[in-house]
Amino acid sequence: MASGDGGFDPGRDERRADYVGADRRHARLNRHVERVSEPSGKTNHWGKRKLARHRSFCGINNPPPFRAEAIDSTGASGVSAPFSLTDCRRFFEQPATARQRQYEALRAYFLAGTPTAEVARSFGYSPGAFRVLCHDFRHGLLPELFASGRAGQRAQPKKSRAHEQIVALRKRNYSVYEISLALKEQGMPLSATAVREVLAEEGFAPLPRRRDEERPQGVRPSTEAVANVRDFLLSPREFTTRMGGLFLFIHDLVRLDGDALALGAKLPGSGMIPAGHALRAALALKLWSVERKSHVMALVADEGLALFCGLNAMPKKSFLSAACSICGTGS
């Protein structure tokens, strides 16, 4: 039967089914692409392989082009709009500053070869004003069209002030750290790194390693005596101490009998530092509010502290740490 505008078409349903099937296949392809390219999802290779298999299965080698969909946090998807270049063109065609307008107008005339009348009309110049602008540009009378960054301050006042003193001290065989200490004493503090830079600029090589007797005279670490009760002497002598307040507790120590307490508690000790003396050393640090055992190294040269403990010298950090560890293990 012939089909007309209102007649019956027997192939219409078959064609409609083909169209619906093609739309469904294209929708599946779009879903697979979204799974692969969606940033918050898993972009694994299985999605791409599955997409290829689906194309070959459906017999679609060249599917119709489609747009990638952007999925927001709510799950809704929308077709992304093409990026417009209007704003970018407007930046060059309608300069916002006078310097940029001069640059674009001169570029259009000298580089693009645009007639002066057209350039003047496009960038808002009168013909005479634009001719003056070209004249000034040819003769180098225009100010700089582009701002250039200026270098910061290169002068270093501290180094410059101490430069001569640094060179003089190095000629006297002072090391970098000794020069830094000497400058600090003279009211010109300068770090060892800055001193090393000044010496390198002057061509001084690093000093070779020296023995202590070859170094300039100065304050150096001292070697203190080893704590030993056998070397303790009560001979009359005078000394200066910062811990004289500890002797206010002598009466209480005698009344409590610290030696008996240490033996009864089985506190650790040795032949050189008995348990009672070790107890008094730890008690002295607590009474003087010394929080850590390592801080005792600043007090080992104090004779008053050693006298309070009944020793020739204060026990060092290693002994106090070992004694505390033994007490902690036993408890």
Write down the pLDDT at residue 330: 44
Closest to 275 measured CA to CA, from 288, 284, 264: 264
- Whether residue 315 contacts residue 224, with contact meaning beta carbons closer than 8 Å, is answered with no
- Taken in order 152, 154, 155, 160, the sign of the CA dihedral is positive
Per-residue buried b or exposed e for 212-239, using 16+ beta carbons within 10 Å of the residue's own CB: eeeeeeeeeeeeeeebebeeeeeeeeee
Q: What pLDDT was estimated at residue 15?
A: 53
Phi and psi dihedrals of 123, rounded to 5? -110, 15
Tens-digit pLDDT string for the chain (331 aa) = 444 444 555 555 555 555 545 555 555 544 444 444 444 444 444 444 444 444 444 444 444 444 444 444 444 444 555 556 677 888 887 888 888 899 989 999 999 889 999 999 988 899 999 999 999 999 988 888 877 766 666 678 888 889 999 999 999 888 898 899 899 988 889 999 999 999 999 999 888 887 777 776 766 677 788 888 888 888 888 888 888 888 888 888 888 888 888 888 888 888 898 888 888 888 888 888 887 766 777 788 888 888 888 888 888 888 888 877 776 644 3
Structure token digits, residue 319: 């002994």
* pLDDT score for 16: 54
pLDDT at 80: 54
69 in helix, strand or coil?
A: strand
C-alpha 70/C-alpha 78 separation (Å) is 6
pTM score, two decimals? Answer: 0.38
Task: Report pLDDT for 43.
Answer: 47
Q: What is the pLDDT of residue 166?
A: 93
In the block, which residue shows the tokens 């240490």? 262
Calpha distance 245→117 (Å, rounded): 98
Label residue 113 left, alpha or beta by phi (over 0 means left) and psi (-120 to 50 means alpha): left
Q: With contact defined as beta carbons under 8 Å apart, do 25 and 60 qualify? A: yes
**pLDDT at position 57, please?**
44
pLDDT at position 151 is: 66
